[in-house]
Chain A
Amino acid sequence: MTFSRNKLYTVLLTACTAGYAWIFFSFDRMQSGSRAPDVCLMKQIVHIPCPSCGSSRAVLALVQGHVLQSVSINPFGLIIALIMLIAPVWILWDIAGRKHSFLHFYRQVEKLLKQPALALPLILFVLINWVWNITKGL
């Protein structure tokens, strides 16, 4: 579906809020010495980690300032943390100023990602990361 501005902003803000809630919950669990439950459907069913398994742990490591440890758990954590930091601020800025800059950026990125020259290396990166996740036994 071609997202309208308001729909995209609502979806992303909701997703980011859920993400922050999840990180706080996981952080709280970590402080009390236990681990947050596995929420990955694929891992639950076939017992093989998916390409983004370990992202929560990677973001938690980032929160504690361990960048290298975070990348070694899952490099996706870095991407997620960047999106979660930038997107809400940018969206709120847009809403306050009644602008469309984030929507334009989103559409540009979508267009860019569809180009094979960029899509193929990224698919390869995801696959390599997936194999790495499986060998690490996340």
Chain B
Amino acid sequence: MDAQKVDLFIMTNGKYFESHQLLHIRERLLQMDDSKWGILQTLQFKDPTTILIVSLLGGGLGIDRFMIGDTGLGVGKLLTCGGFGIWTIIDWFLIMGVTREKNLAQLQQVLY
């Protein structure tokens, strides 16, 4: 794919991924066929900051986990008062990383 397009993608979507993954993503995108640019543009990534805000406000009900697609864990969190509150607090620190992992998994479906 054209280096200009790849850089545009990295600039607009860089915040949705871990910084150490960006170099690898860039390399993969450069090798990718130009025909996939359209699909790449339609991908909707979850914003880690938004999920963190949701986690701070509704983490006790598991809403953060539901939002990133971890339905099973969301149900678990909801049924246990947010894992007795402990899981809620742990997730305040983990959820941004998990969201970025989810975004990468979503991108990988197009890349591979």
Chain A residues engaging chain B, CB cutoff 8 angstroms:
1-3, 15, 19, 39-44, 50-53, 55, 76, 79-80, 83, 106, 109-110, 113-114, 126
Contacts and interface: CB of A to CB of B under 8 A. Distances in A.
Contacts of A2: 105
Given A50-B60, A50-B61, A113-B75, A1 B82 contact: no
B89 to A, nearest CB: 8
Contacts of B75: 113
A41 B60 contact: yes
Contacts of B78: 51-52, 126
Contacts of B76: 15
A74 to B, nearest CB: 10
A126 to B, nearest CB: 7
Contact of A42 (B60, B70, B89, B101): B60
Contacts of B85: 39-42, 44
Interface of B: 60-61, 69-72, 75-76, 78-82, 84-85, 88-89, 98, 101-102, 105
A60 to B, nearest CB: 15
A110 B65 CA distance: 12
A110 to B, nearest CB: 4
A94 to B, nearest CB: 16
B81 A114 contact: no
Contacts of A79: 79
A110 B75 CA distance: 10
Given A39-B85, A40-B85, A114 B79 contact: no
A106 to B, nearest CB: 6
Nearest to B77: A52
Contacts of B82: 40-42, 50
A55 B79 contact: yes
Contacts of B81: 39-43, 50, 52-53, 55
Given A1-B98, A113-B75, A114-B71, 12 more contacts: A1-B70, A1-B102, A15-B80, A39-B84, A40-B82, A42-B82, A53-B81, A79-B79, A106-B72, A109-B71, A110-B72, A126-B78
Contacts of A109: 71-72
